[in-house]
Amino acid sequence: MISSKPLMIASQKINLHDKVTAYIAQARLAAADGLTIAELAELIVAAMRLAIAAVDHLELAGETKRQIVADLAATLFDEFADLLVPTVLRPMWWLVKPTLRTFVHSAAAGAVDALLPLVRIADE
């Protein structure tokens, strides 16, 4: 699994910023040879689980926590989605990417509630 090593490295960090920074750095190395759609989705969902576990312990409103996780998913989409698109399709990609980013952000915000119980069970 492409997200295994990034998750292992990130889980050794203490705060959310360090976890996310370590995760993205390791994910970049794992994605250096390109990504498939499934691998991109795996990277995003694994990062969401990492972020959910971290923000679950913070004294913030639920909507703020949801926003943090959704922003991370959108950031990862921005970082890695270009690796999916062949060079000849880049002009078309630049037209649809903002719409897909919005979709990823919205889907991630909705997925937080579904992932939260799984993350809490895994943390026990």
The predicted-structure confidence for 20-49, as pLDDT tens digits, reads as follows 888 888 888 888 888 899 999 999 999 998
The pair phi, psi for residue 114, each rounded to 5°, is -75, -35
What does the alpha-carbon distance between residue 9 and residue 77 come to, in Å, rounded to a whole number?
A: 20
> 0.75 exceeded by the pTM?
yes
Number of domains in the chain: 1
Please state, rounded to an integer, the average pLDDT across all residues of the chain. Answer: 87
Burial class (CB in 10 A: 0-12, 13-18, 19+), 27: buried
Average pLDDT over residues 81-94: 92
Owning domain of residue 26: 4-123
Q: How many Cβ atoms from other residues are within 10 Å of residue 52's Cβ?
A: 23
Give the contacts of 16 (CB within 8 A, at least 6 positions apart). 51, 54, 55, 68
pLDDT band at 12 (very low <50, low <70, confident <90, very high): confident
124 pLDDT band, cuts 50/70/90, is low
| pLDDT band with cut points at 50, 70 and 90 for residue 2 | low
